[in-house]
Structure 1
Amino acid sequence: MNRLLIGFVLLAAMAMGGNVAAAASSAAPAERFKTLYEREWDWRQTQFAGADDEDSEGKTADHLPKVDPATQAERTRYWQDVLRQLDAIPVSALPEQEQVNYQVYRNQIEVLLDQQRFHAWEMPFNSDSAFWTNLGFTARKPLRDTESYRSYLAQLADVPRYFDEQIDNMRAGLVRGFSVPQVTLKGRDQSIAEVIDAKGEANLFYTPFKRMPSVISATEQAQLREQALQTIETKVVPAYSKLLAFIRQEYTPQARTSLAARSMPDGEAYYQAQIREFTTLDMSPDEIHALGLKEVARLRAEMDEVIAQVGFKGDFADFLHYLRTDPKFYPKTGEELLMRAAWIAKRVDGKIGEYVGRLPRQRFAIEPVPPDLAPFYTGGRGGPTTYLVNTYNLPSRPLYNLTALTLHESSPGHSLQMSLAAEQDAMPDFRRYTYISAYGEGWALYSEYLGIEMGMYDTPYDRFGYLTYQMWRAARLVIDTGVHHLGWSREQALAFLRDNTALSEHEVTTEVDRYIAWPGQALSYYLGELTILRLREKAERALGGKFDLRNFHDAVLAQGSVPLPVLEQRIDRFIAEGGKSPWPEKDKK
């Protein structure tokens, strides 16, 4: 709001007999807040320009982000100043929607500052994802014109500087005992070695040059391809070779042999900060552990009912062995797995309008996980544009889990939710394009639950697959807190997941290593789902016959990614407003 507009507001207040000072005090905090978050968001986008991962694209740039200690110190100072300015804004003086924005935005800044406080940049990878594999997502993006190709080539030329800064940061982490646990590093260097071993046009980073748009002349295409081959050979491959030597000869031998987050510097505070980041709740590790055990017991009883329903003769362990070893439960080819996933997603398309009022325009593709990532990747991963299905090691990809996986990763899970958030033009960008795990993973896990009401689980085995996925996430509450707070061994964690779910041995191992190397992240899923289920029950009870499930889902989804306490406030308002959808009727299906 500019000065002229503020003036009109004051004049209007005078004309209506209002208090001029009151109007000014109302306008000023909202304007200050908007100016603050817009400026910081633009600055943040510039800071991380060139970064990329499977969930989001960074701002286009001709370089990679700076990650050196001086830059980190600058970011810390900047966000500390932002927090001071937020403290000076009287929240009660903001309009209602801006108060919601304030809560979401403040949570973002506090999480960013927590990561700075613990020097999280000194551990820039885990057993699931890494800065060097994230560059692969950039390499797989289509480029549309000469300028974008030249920016990409400049990014490739910047890889040596970027990797050197990351290596320096990891060395600093090693010195103070802040590293990925050694036990989770086995085989993780494979994705680095593959870049080194792939020569010329076979190299991952040459991918955009294999098919170039016709708007670029043949002469210029040839020049760009030649430059790409030279840059990969002289810049990218040497940087990956240096990184590989560091990981193998220095990082892995010196990485900590302990598992618990609490064993690292200021570890208890670090783990509690991770819990706050990934759950947005102030729960203690002991509370989460106890809740997990309770839910595991409840789900186990439901799983036993399904086993009795199919007439299986044997105990729970026998049934799990049967599921893990009978070939009829597994795809014979990667294409079969992809086609089954596509069929499930298409069936959802025919039902989703009965459960969600406003649907996104963005559509998603279904593709296999890239081979350089697949050995240690999850069974699937969903984002706004792509649902990745892992076709590596097919005997570890049971079909009875595929329905739950597809609902979670595509629609109505991640792809639908993230696309819908990005399409909300009225929301600030810091809400449209950021991801809060407790909300996003909670919604995606709740989407698996919706599969029951949508009639998606066709057989008792599909139903058991749904329950094993629910059990998997409940077990995470126990395992994550068990490892990082109670001092569990890796063997204890593996046994707990193996004994309580029908996940394959491959997935049991990759998942447990993910929890060990990424403290707190695993807690977001089940706590988020439980919150949404509780809020739905609360709304159903309060509204009675006025409760409309589509309207409830619209109220949840219209928020974008928000902390769970903010979501609860929104549902309280939904109830107070009589259960209306937040969307105009014309915007609904």
Structure 2
Amino acid sequence: MHRIVIFVVIITLINCSIFKASPAIANETDELRNQQLTELASLTTNEAMLNSGERLAKSSELYFEYTLLLWPELGTYMGFEKHQDKWSDSSIARHEKYTEETNKWFNLFKSIDPTNLSKEDRLNLTILIYTLETEIAREQFDGMLMPIDQLSGIYQDAARVLAMMPVRNEHDLNNIIARLSGIEMEVTHTIEWMKLGLEEGITPPKVTLTNIPDIINNQLAVDIEQSPYLTAFASKPEMVSQQTFNSLKAQAQKIVKNSVHPSLEMLHDFVVKEYIPRSRETIGLSNLPNGKAWYTVNVQEFTTTSLTPTQIHELGLKEVARIRKEMEQSITSSGFEGSFDEFLHFLRDDPQFYFTDAEDLLREYRNIAKKADAELPKLFGLLPRTPYGVIPVPAYAEKSQTTAYYEPGSLDAGRAGNFFANTYQLASRPKYEMEALTLHEAVPGHHLQVALQQEMQDTPWFRKIPMYTGFVEGWGLYAESLGEDMGFYQDPYSKFGQLTFEMWRAMRLVVDTGIHVFGWTRQQSIDYFMANSGKTEHDVTVEVDRYIVWPGQATAYKVGELKIKALRAKAEASFGENFDIREFHDVVLGSGAVPLTILEDNINEWIAAEN
């Protein structure tokens, strides 16, 4: 799938999940928020006559407290302690206030004069303003009216967040129990948003929703001991007595049986009886009100560029033609005698390219990852401390999830990063793609980049969140291209697999824009993929459905990769034989994930300073 799953979780929870706190908690939260907004107003008028650096520091700290209060799931991801017994409040009333408050934060940071700031503070201020500007642009559209799809929503995201929470002591377990208690209300309010979306005619396409009932049923069907909502209670923490643990576990199980499961059953029935039957038949975002403008904003947010959908479509066609020639050369080098289409059928149908046992698949991914680890010092001067593992996609969701995804770890939370590999339908998981996929999701791709970003010292919190898709996914795709330097892609099939993945991202530019701007059908999109890559039909279908419900996101990969490669070419030309690949990579990753315009500025400054 080539995405970082926590982005889906956080974005969904921020924009779509609904939690109505108990009156006592709500009052406490409102009081804290009002205090923060009062201080925000004071900083905006600069009552204390602070200089720019002091204003930025105090404003950033206050914005952090506000963000954690608004989105406690972000604290879970980052390993912070505050508000871990709460979910986000994204009720309709809260959402209206949030839109107003976002503009206030934007005005505050925009009012800070950057002239006398340090270089690093100017970058911090630029990123804050850019982020808030992007959020304001997104707020003009109605994404909150579509709180679930086949990839995310309360029916999947709550379990994911619970599984990330630390389990060290009684306090941690009580936080989990508090969140379990809030899921029923989350589901209730999610349904309210869905009903409003139906009234406005704003829903995900019907064709993408058909697996949701099965995903919900898969969670309900397992024995309570195996519930994805109770992973924290699988074993007793050392700091908790057996008696206390047994009592808390029984309490948690009771909540899951009497509250979580009935609420999921209610969601299931609503999806089956009302949501799917009344959801739209069309698939393009342009079919929704103001859809073309909505899609353009999405594309520019995800790519962090000003590229138009038409420019991206044309770039995709150009890249598809270029990569197709390389693929044909790879076929020739393999010794295969036959057409391109015949070679694709050979790859899809020959059993030599597929495992028949899930554990064998996972074992091979781990072997590839271990080999990649040993090659990293050749290409990077700085490596992360956070470890990572390779684990299967949860069974309840595997049918609708794509090939793989990465979930970041957190040293603060004592959590390793994880590369999730899909073991569903092994005949759709070819061996020749495994090297490129591992390099993308683990190292030197997502894990290396995200872990380094999280571990940056003396860096404000908002710089440690890998939120810019053009950079993050562009780096992941660029990381695949480093495979030859690392000793991978030695046989022609593996090389063809790497080219298939690159082709996949190029075709995304064509298909994503095709669906959402140029009126492509779902089948047309599937056929285009099948004609130009060795991907299996199941994998292609799941991917196309992903582009349908996540408009614009898939365009970021190729755009980001091409920018990184262009900057590397520029540096190589400038330094000549003195070009140091390790230093280049350290500069690219040194500021964390940033908009591509800022990345270009960073590289240009490095080149100028060294020359």
| Fold match (TM-score > 0.5) | yes
Aligned twin of 1:587: none
Is 1:291 matched with 2:323? no
Q: 2:260 and 2:75 mapped to 1: Cα distance?
A: 17
Q: Which amino acid aligns with 2:605?
A: R
C-alpha displacement of 1:199: 4.2
Aligned twin of 1:406: 438
Contact in 2 for aligned 1:309/1:460 (Cα 8 Å): yes
Aligned twin of 1:174: 198
Question: Secondary structure at the residue paired with 2:570?
Answer: helix
Q: 1:345 and 1:416 mapped to 2: Cα distance?
A: 12
Identical columns (%)? 36
Higher mean displacement: 346-355 or 182-191: 182-191
C-alpha displacement of 1:251: 1.1
Aligned twin of 2:425: 393
Contact in 2 for aligned 1:143/1:208 (Cα 8 Å): yes
**Structure of greater relative contact order (alpha carbons < 8 Å, 6+ residues apart):** 2
Runs of 4+ in 1 over 6 A off after TM superposition: 55-58
Question: Secondary structure at the residue paired with 1:191?
Answer: helix
Is 1:343 matched with 2:375? no
Higher mean displacement: 287-296 or 158-167: 158-167
Q: 2:466 and 2:479 mapped to 1: Cα distance?
A: 20
Q: 1:119 and 1:31 mapped to 2: Cα distance?
A: 37
Aligned twin of 2:105: 82
Spell out the pairing of 1:11-26 with structure 2 (5 A cutoff): none
Q: Which has the larger Rg?
A: 1
Q: 1:126 and 1:83 mapped to 2: Cα distance?
A: 30
Q: 1:43 and 1:311 mapped to 2: Cα distance?
A: 61
Higher mean displacement: 117-126 or 555-564: 117-126
Aligned twin of 1:501: 533
Aligned twin of 2:598: 566
Question: Secondary structure at the residue paired with 1:367?
Answer: strand
Q: Which amino acid aligns with 2:424?
A: Y
Q: 2:584 and 2:141 mapped to 1: Cα distance?
A: 38
Contact in 2 for aligned 1:383/1:418 (Cα 8 Å): no
Is 1:355 matched with 2:379? yes
C-alpha displacement of 1:50: 3.8
Q: 2:508 and 2:101 mapped to 1: Cα distance?
A: 35
Q: 2:207 and 2:305 mapped to 1: Cα distance?
A: 30
Q: 2:117 and 2:278 mapped to 1: Cα distance?
A: 51
Contact in 1 for aligned 2:75/2:84 (Cα 8 Å): no
Q: Which amino acid aligns with 1:463?
A: K
Q: Which amino acid aligns with 1:49?
A: P
Contact in 1 for aligned 2:168/2:238 (Cα 8 Å): no
Q: 1:215 and 1:102 mapped to 2: Cα distance?
A: 42
Q: 2:53 and 2:198 mapped to 1: Cα distance?
A: 45
Higher mean displacement: 124-133 or 72-81: 124-133
Q: 1:557 and 1:125 mapped to 2: Cα distance?
A: 33
How many equivalent pairs are there? Answer: 554
Q: 2:50 and 2:522 mapped to 1: Cα distance?
A: 56
Give the aligned CA root-mean-square deviation in angstroms.
1.8
Question: CA offsets, 1:387-434, max 9 Å, x none?
Answer: 111111100000100000000000000011100000012111101124
Q: 1:248 and 1:63 mapped to 2: Cα distance?
A: 29
Is 1:427 matched with 2:459? yes
Q: Which amino acid aligns with 2:338?
A: G
Q: Which amino acid aligns with 2:546?
A: R
Q: 1:545 and 1:401 mapped to 2: Cα distance?
A: 33
Q: Which amino acid aligns with 1:106?
A: I
Higher mean displacement: 346-355 or 527-536: 346-355
Question: CA offsets, 1:531-572, max 9 Å, x none?
Answer: 000000011112223321100000001110100000000000
Contact in 1 for aligned 2:384/2:448 (Cα 8 Å): yes
Spell out the pairing of 1:162-201 with structure 2 (5 A cutoff): 162-201=186-225
Question: Secondary structure at the residue paired with 1:241?
Answer: helix
Question: Secondary structure at the residue paired with 2:225?
Answer: helix
For structure 1, the residue ranges without an aligned partner over 5 or more in a row are 1-25, 580-589
Aligned twin of 2:301: 277
C-alpha displacement of 1:46: 1.4
For structure 2, the residue ranges without an aligned partner over 5 or more in a row are 1-48, 409-416
Contact in 2 for aligned 1:65/1:162 (Cα 8 Å): no
Is 1:261 matched with 2:293? no
Is 1:230 matched with 2:254? yes
Q: Which amino acid aligns with 2:209?
A: L
Aligned twin of 2:343: 319
Is 1:128 matched with 2:151? yes
Aligned twin of 1:365: 389
Q: 1:124 and 1:36 mapped to 2: Cα distance?
A: 31
C-alpha displacement of 1:207: 2.3
Q: Which amino acid aligns with 2:111?
A: A
Question: CA offsets, 1:284-339, max 9 Å, x none?
Answer: 11100000000000000000001111121211111000000000001121111111
Spell out the pairing of 1:459-478 with structure 2 (5 A cutoff): 459-478=491-510
